[in-house]
Amino acid sequence: MTDARPTKSTSRITGENVFFAKRILQTMALLVGMTIIIAAVGIIYIASQLNEQASVQSRFLIEKAWKMQQDSLKTRIKDNAFWGDAYQHLHVKMDTDWAFISQNMGPSLYKDFSLEGVFVIDGQGKTRYSVINGQLVNTDLQSWLHKDITPLIDIARQRAEKPYIAVDTLEIAGQPALIAAAALTPGEDPRVQWVAGPPSVLVFINILTPAELSALGENYGIHNLRMPRNSQDATSKPSLVIASSDNSTLTLHWDQEMPGTPLLNILLPLLALVALIIGLTAWLVIRRAISGAKATDRSRAALAASEERFRHVAESASDWLWETDAELQVTYLSPRFLIISGWSVDHWLGRHLDSLLNCDITSLRTWLQHTHLTDSRNELQCTYFSAKGSKRVCRIHAKPIIQQGEIVGFRGTASDLTREIEAEKRIEHLSLHDALTGLPNRTLMTEFLENKLHNLAAVEHPLVILNVNLDKFKPVNDNFGHVTGDQVLYQVAERLRSCLRDKDLVSRQGGDEFILIISDLSSSYEIELLCARVITRIQMPYVINEQEIYLGASIGITLAPQDSMQAEELLRFADIAMCEAKNSARNRWRFYASEMNDRLMQRIELEKFLRLAVKKSEFCLYYQPRYRTDDMQLIGAEALVRWNHPVLGLLMPDQFIALAEETGLITAISDWTLLQACQDAMTWPTSLIVSVNISAIEFRGQCLIERVRQALLVTGLPSHRLELEITERIMIEDADGALKIMTALKTLGIRLSIDDFGTGYSSLNYLHRFPFDGLKIDKSFIDKLTESHEGQSIVEGIINLGHAISMTVIAEGVETAEQLTYLQSLHCDEVQGYFLAKPMPVEALSLVFSEDLSV
């Protein structure tokens, strides 16, 4: 079989007719397009020139109109200023009757010529005569204008000998105004003689209103001549800037006619329509030519496409193609064979196919000879070795080559399955093993355990199941990060493997929990010896990134068949025993006993009731009064929470607080306690404080600060009346985090005291670093106060220590008068205990307040 491939020349020929037809279309479209673009550019240019000419013409007309308005004003003032009678009646003497009553220079100037202002200014610059809007008024020119036009008046006065008219343009009240000034002279009247002194000056003012301004423009074919109406109008075009003598300017705007725009609106759409018609016609003409060219090309391309398709399949498919003669000698291998196997094609041409491919089920020759007996697709899984010696798996499909009724050879494909099989094995491994440690997961462990139980021989050789849970692993994740935690878990897995035999199993259940299944341990001694070995190995330091990390372990032990023969039950019993070991002490092991399960059931039942109690608020507060030692004055009370259990009655904190901390309910209970205590304290005398205990669990997040702030805000309790009691445990678990939260709490203004001082392992350094206001001596020290000198020395030392660092020292658990007397002698600041007052409901506490106040 030959490897038929289309040549490059064939590929070019198959589309040459369509190619030339498209080139012709593109050329025609380009020529038409360029012609239309040139025509469009020409039209736009002509329209632009027309608009520009119109703009220049309109500006010229506005300037002409303005000049004509100024000339008109000059003519009117010339007729009145260079007049002997006016000189005689307005300069030589001021004759108002002649000017206004006789209407020589009165209201007719406003009615006939729209002169809003007529003024006569004497030689000393005083306004002697003023007519405004046709009314005779006594108004100063400068006051009316709100502008100083003295320079204009001086020019007119200085040029009085020769008839001269000074003209200016000002903006008055937002409108343009023309001002003309001329000195009063006898003119050519021989009857009137000049008098000595500076001449008076006649001033005419014409304010162009919007209507007058618009009418002025319309007279010259200019539409909407105006002053700018707003800031946007002020920037519009076209415009004309008119300068004034005081260096100010005013701008006139108008609506410009655009004669080029109609031309664009008509010709451009018409041009676009012409272009569309031409383009459509060209497309219809050439479309027929392209259709014919495509028909020719299709037939020529069919063979080339078929050859191209075969070549692509042979070279890019994951399968490689093969062909042999009747004796299974290889006559053809596709190029893909080299890529997959690494063997060159020439290396195997002429060699037998069954020397390359091996099959465990049947011989390749026998299988091929039976392929023609069935019409179904024949396939066979075989293996072979690549050129690098790696074993590969493939699935072959074959068909016989039949000529004249005889089999002359075989041809087929080989699909490489190596990666698929490796992936399936990898998936199967991952489904049964932990991805981090490589240990069996719960599925594989359960299967192993059930097989062991099924084949368990005798009670004398029980099956041992160990549930190993790491102690202090969470701080490793919190302090060093999950990457370090994963490295520690991997090392733990290796150490656990080293503790067991090959026939035993160690499995990771997730997190820091491991299951060990061991057989053939005949005594409890051997089991405990193994547990001790496991804990010892786990306690050895883990060096990660030059950091030494230490862990412990708690182990729960269950046996089969003694405890159960059910896998799930055995695993549950081991977990229960592990929890017992962890609760009793760290680094311990416990054998499962039935009473453990009973305790667990009781705990589950108690947890259920506790969750209901949180929802129904089945809690109440008892208060134990606290007194100042020196004068036994009541200074406040400590809030102690109680649970009104519907079955067991009133429960003390030590009966449910630990469970609340484990289940996460402590926050809800603490919120209720804090809010109720603050509400109750609001009914007390304002000098008394309330003290509330806070669990160390609540310091693991930042929400404590907001919860305290909210309680103070809702109840209105002043912050200095609230004290929070905190155990030493928080300083041991996360000193830095606790310090940040305490500092934030102190900014609220509340008090902080350390509870049960001396029972933990906090250092004196913590007392200096943390913002405590007081410390409480634990009851265990007070109990020994009167029993031995050693007990007295310890209490005295704690009191002196507290005073040395400026803390208030409180002694709790005072139960005898002798203890109270001794604490007074040691100058302990405050005391509380059964000798003074037992915890009591808030109603009873009110009586204590009354008694204290009466004393």
The answer on pLDDT for 103 being more than 90 is no
Question: Which one is predicted more confidently, 460 or 422?
Answer: 422
Q: Report the largest interatomic distance among the alpha carbons of the chain, rounded to a whole angstrom.
A: 161
Distance separating alpha carbons of residues 187 and 185, to the nearest angstrom: 5
Kindly list the structural domains of the chain, giving each domain's residue range(s) and its CATH number in brackets, ordered by start: 55-220 (3.30.450.20), 221-256 (no CATH), 317-422 (3.30.450.20), 435-592 (3.30.70.270), 606-854 (3.20.20.450)
The better pLDDT of the pair 360, 821 is held by 821
Reduced to 3 states (helix: H, G, I; strand: E, B; else coil), residue 735 is helix
Sign of torsion, CA 37 39 41 43?
negative
Q: Per residue in 54-96, pLDDT tens?
A: 777 777 787 787 888 888 888 888 888 788 888 888 888 888 8
User: Which candidate, 111, 116, 95, places its Cα nearest to that of 184?
Assistant: 95
Closest CA to 555 of 526, 519, 592: 592
Q: What is the mean pLDDT of residues 445-458?
A: 85
Say which amino acid occupies 806: S
Instruction: Pick 260 or 504 by higher pLDDT.
Output: 504
Q: What is the pTM of this model?
A: 0.45
Pairing of strands 808-812, 751-757: unpaired
- Tell me, what DSSP letter sits at residue 199? P
664 — pLDDT class (breaks 50, 70, 90):
confident
Higher pLDDT, 237 or 715: 715
pLDDT per position as a tens digit, 3-34: 444 444 444 544 666 677 677 767 777 887 78
pLDDT at 233: 65
Report the 3 state secondary structure along 307-360. Answer: HHHHHHHHHHCCEEEEEEECCCEEEEECCHHHHHHCCCHHHHCCCEHHHCCECC
Measured CA to CA, the distance from residue 569 to residue 561 in angstroms comes to 11
Which segment of 115-124, 584-593, 679-688 scores lowest on mean pLDDT? 584-593
pLDDT at 315: 57
The token pair at 416 is 């490489």
Encode pLDDT of 705-748 as tens digits: 999 999 999 999 999 999 999 987 777 767 788 889 999 999 99
Q: Which region among 281-295, 727-741, 782-796 has the lowest average model confidence (pLDDT)? A: 281-295
3-class secondary-structure state, position 546: coil
What rounded mean pLDDT belongs to the chain? 84
Listed residue (649, 613, 687) closest to 849, CA to CA? 687
Nearest of 678, 593, 664, 590 to residue 636 by alpha carbon: 678
